[in-house]
Amino acid sequence: MRRSQKDTDESARRITRRALLLGGAQAAVVAALGLRLRHMQVEEADQYRLLAEENRINIRLIPPARGLIHDRNGVIVAGNEQNYRVVIVREDAGDVEEALARLRKLIHLTQEDVDRTLRELSRRSAFVPITVAERLSWEDLARVAANAPALPGVTPEVGLSRHYPFGGDYAHVVGYVGPVSESDLAQLETPDPLLQIPRFQIGKVGVETRLEDALRGKAGSRRIEVNAVGRVMRELDRQEGEPGASVQLTVDDRLQNYVQARLGGESAACVVMDVDNGDILAISSAPSFDPNLFVRGIGVADYRALMDNDHRPLANKTVQGAYPPGSTYKMVTALAALEAGVVGLNDTVYCPGYMDVAGRRFHCWKRGGHGRVALVAALAESCDCYFYDVAQRCGIDRIAEMSVRLGLGQRHELPMSAISEGLNPNRQWKRERHGQEWRVGDTVNASIGQGYVLSTPLQLAVMTARLASGRAVSPRLIKAINGVEQPVNPGEPLGLNPDFMREIRRGMSATVNSQRGTAYSSRIEDAAMRMAGKTGTSQVRNITAAERARGVVRNDQLPWNRRDHALFVGYAPAEAPRIAVSVVVEHGMGGSTAAAPIGRDVSLFALHRGLPPLSAYPSSQRTRIENERRELSLRSPDTPQSGQTRA
């Protein structure tokens, strides 16, 4: 379509006219905008500046209350207590050093506190509150609050911090919390913003760290308006966080307290398990330490003392300590041999006090020998030669297999730190680990739980529970999270010949209850609570040729750390087992003298749900037991429970 020149010109003129009109209108709008901008930013700038200063919006996280940890009966073993502290905000304080100097006149601050605060202040953003001092008394807090006008940017605050009311009793089970470290942050892909709060504490060891996610809860937040000196003007809105989940342990507080006290200053470990469902009723490692020290930030001297202690208080020996199980391993050897069919229930072995194997002489613990022994007597009197013999017939691989079936040499999943796997040696392992063939001497050593075999007290307790119940019981430490019962694992039947099991149990019962048994002095008189068990004494040293030439060196002549470990595993009541116990006393010299009495006392306390009457003990021991009890420092059972906090 062609248009006339007149039309196009007219059109162009019209467009130009209208465009100029529109441009004019636009110019007017821009002028209005410019004037408004000038009005706001030049004429009224001071007013808006003031509003801005008075009207700063800040988002503060509200740390959730950490979940409480209870024992199986609801006693709080890890709680939160109120913690008064003073924080300082750099951008509000102005001259920080001046503010700290003034603060120092009001409350006690060490030079270290001041230096640390200055360091943190210079590192963090100007608006982040930095804690100057914590755990102040109410009086200190009141003094700071009263002098607030002279202390810009300094605010007293109340927070919650972790408190372990029973000190060392749960140090190894519950563990402790501590400040977030750089390495903690580095391990997480998407760190919770809570972790950025200075001095926020997270679980470092034990249940506290393994159940960290449940215990921590979710942060709340509040939007607040603060004025130029950091004073909160008003809260705009508030989103409550979620407190952490409460965790219920299977541990019984009274028993735990008793076990810890009974172990006393020994370097020892004890585990008490419910035979039926695997619930851990007590799990103690001694000596212990006060976890509250770590929550506060442990001092250098205290830490040195813990590290230098040769009884290793920081180690949780119940799951981290791997010991040669000694004679407590003999049930494994016996069952393996019986199941393999290489020995009958009534077959006897002659024990002259030693056995020569592959040109080496292996001694029985009893120099004179036991004479002819069958299974029950071999267990009760702990005759080594019997096991040397049957182990050779059965071979190490079948022993190792039985060991696994009974719960040794594997990591039982409990929410505790650094759980050891122990060691079930077999041919393949030795080839891979040492590049050597398995030798028959190794089998002989392993048959009595020496040599390469290593087990933890927890594993020994599991083994005992399995022997007592005939089922593959697995341990459980967490009873419930937020009231939700955690799964129990009573285990499948082990599938072992019931006749063999009965005989093994008979042997264990005879160990404690027959006059020739190695734990006879630790028997329980009360017929309804009779115990069955097995003692063990395991060497931690190699006897040198010189020592052998001089004759047997008596244990008590050796330095402490070269003495034998004392072990005991047991269950009770012998006829209808309810609990299984394992005890390891490091360098305690003899299983029957150092470990079995602990096993008995702990079993009695567990079955009785308290201190048993003296009539449960053999009459000859009652006076001694009574005296020992007086020295035990037990918590009174009705320690007041203040729930959340001590104000």
Partner 1 sequence: MSYLEYTVKTVPTGLRKVLYINWALVVLLTAIASVGILMLYSVSGGRMEVWAEPQMERFALGLMAMFTVAFVPIWFWRNMAGLAFAVSLVLLLAVEFVGTVGMGAQRWIDLGFMRLQPSELTKITLVMILAAYYDWLDIKKTSRPLWVLIPVVLTLIPVALVLRQPDLGTALLLLFGGGVMMFLAGVHILYFIVVVALGVGLVAAVFMSRDTPWQLLKDYQFRRIDTFLDPSSDPLGAGYHISQAKIALGSGGWSGRGFMQGTQSRLNFLPEKHTDFIFTTLAEEFGFVGAASLLALYVALIVFTIVTALSNRDRFSSLLTLGIAATLFFYFSINTAMVMGLAPVVGVPLPLVSYGGSAMLVLMLAYGLVQSAHIHRARGRT
- 57 lies in the site for partner 1, by CB under 8 A: yes
Backbone angles phi, psi at 547, to 5 degrees: -65, -40
Give the number of residues in contact with partner 1, rule: CB under 8 A.
Answer: 41
C-alpha gyration radius of the chain: 36
Using the minimum distance from each CB to partner 1, give the nearer residue, 20 or 146.
Answer: 20
Instruction: Report which residue type is found at 297.
Output: G
- 541 lies in the site for partner 1, by CB under 8 A: no
Using the minimum distance from each CB to partner 1, give the nearer residue, 59 or 358.
Answer: 59
Q: Which of 24, 51, 148, 240 binds partner 1 (CB under 8 A)?
A: 51
Q: Which of 24, 47, 73, 552 binds partner 1 (CB under 8 A)?
A: 47
384-394 vs 396-405: helix crossing angle, rounded to 10: 100
Catalytic residue among 246, 267, 327, 592: 327
- Residue 17 CB, shortest distance to partner 1, in Å, is 8
Using the minimum distance from each CB to partner 1, give the nearer residue, 62 or 540.
Answer: 62
- Residue 61 CB, shortest distance to partner 1, in Å, is 13
**Buried-exposed string 598-619: b where 16+ CB fall within 10 A, e elsewhere:** bbbbbbbbbbeeeebeeebbee
d(CA 88, CA 74): 39
Question: CB neighbours (10 Å) of residue 416?
Answer: 24
d(CA 571, CA 452): 26
Sheet of 56-62: strand order equals 56-62, 220-226, 232-239
**Contact (Cβ atoms closer than 8 angstroms) between residue 585 and residue 565:** yes
Of 35-43, 308-316, 465-473, 484-492: span binding partner 1 (CB under 8 A): 35-43
Backbone angles phi, psi at 4, to 5 degrees: -70, 150
d(CA 325, CA 309): 24
Q: Which of 15, 418, 552, 632 binds partner 1 (CB under 8 A)?
A: 15
Give CA separation, 187 vs 70, 122, 175, 190, 405, in Å. Answer: 29, 25, 20, 9, 36
Using the minimum distance from each CB to partner 1, give the nearer residue, 9 or 626.
Answer: 9
d(CA 646, CA 81): 6
- Residue 132 CB, shortest distance to partner 1, in Å, is 24
Give CA separation, 158 vs 227, 237, 245, 527, in Å. Answer: 21, 20, 22, 56
SS3 527: helix
Give me the DSSP letters along 337-356: HHHHTSS-TT--EEE-SEEE
- 12 lies in the site for partner 1, by CB under 8 A: yes
- 188 lies in the site for partner 1, by CB under 8 A: no
- Residue 42 CB, shortest distance to partner 1, in Å, is 6
- 191 lies in the site for partner 1, by CB under 8 A: no
Of 52-60, 158-166, 575-583, 633-641: span binding partner 1 (CB under 8 A): 52-60
d(CA 241, CA 252): 31
Using the minimum distance from each CB to partner 1, give the nearer residue, 35 or 528.
Answer: 35
**Known catalytic membership, residue 327:** yes
- Residue 227 CB, shortest distance to partner 1, in Å, is 13
- Residue 40 CB, shortest distance to partner 1, in Å, is 4
Using the minimum distance from each CB to partner 1, give the nearer residue, 24 or 493.
Answer: 24
**Which single residue is written with the structure tokens 């007590």?**
282
**Contact (Cβ atoms closer than 8 angstroms) between residue 472 and residue 278:** no
- 22 lies in the site for partner 1, by CB under 8 A: yes
Of 30-38, 153-161, 324-332, 338-346: span binding partner 1 (CB under 8 A): 30-38
d(CA 538, CA 530): 26
Q: Which two tokens stand for residue 513?
A: 């209850």
Of 8-16, 338-346, 483-491, 621-629: span binding partner 1 (CB under 8 A): 8-16
Using the minimum distance from each CB to partner 1, give the nearer residue, 58 or 489.
Answer: 58
- 138 lies in the site for partner 1, by CB under 8 A: no
d(CA 586, CA 268): 6
Using the minimum distance from each CB to partner 1, give the nearer residue, 197 or 226.
Answer: 226
- 2 lies in the site for partner 1, by CB under 8 A: yes
Q: Which two tokens stand for residue 295?
A: 């929550």
**Which single residue is written with the structure tokens 């441009």?**
23
Q: Which residues pair with 485 in a beta bridge?
A: 480
Give me the DSSP letters along 377-403: HHHHTT-HHHHHHHHHHH-HHHHHHHH
d(CA 443, CA 463): 20
Site for partner 1 in 229-248 (CB under 8 A): 236
Q: Which of 29, 158, 307, 543 binds partner 1 (CB under 8 A)?
A: 29
Of 46-54, 100-108, 393-401, 524-532: span binding partner 1 (CB under 8 A): 46-54
Q: Which of 24, 36, 119, 543 binds partner 1 (CB under 8 A)?
A: 36
Using the minimum distance from each CB to partner 1, give the nearer residue, 59 or 146.
Answer: 59
- Residue 197 CB, shortest distance to partner 1, in Å, is 17
- 185 lies in the site for partner 1, by CB under 8 A: no
- Residue 191 CB, shortest distance to partner 1, in Å, is 17
Of 1-9, 251-259, 300-308, 507-515: span binding partner 1 (CB under 8 A): 1-9
Q: Which two tokens stand for residue 598?
A: 């602990």
Site for partner 1 in 333-372 (CB under 8 A): none
Using the minimum distance from each CB to partner 1, give the nearer residue, 19 or 528.
Answer: 19
**Which single residue is written with the structure tokens 């929550």?**
295
- 221 lies in the site for partner 1, by CB under 8 A: no
- Residue 12 CB, shortest distance to partner 1, in Å, is 7
- Taking 3-state DSSP, the helix, strand and coil percentages for the chain, each rounded to the nearest 5, stand at 45, 20, 35
Using the minimum distance from each CB to partner 1, give the nearer residue, 47 or 644.
Answer: 47
Binding residues vs partner 1 (CB under 8 A): 1-3, 5, 7-8, 10-12, 14-16, 18-19, 22-23, 26, 29-30, 32-34, 36-38, 40-42, 44-45, 47-49, 51-52, 55-59, 236
List residues with catalytic annotation. 327
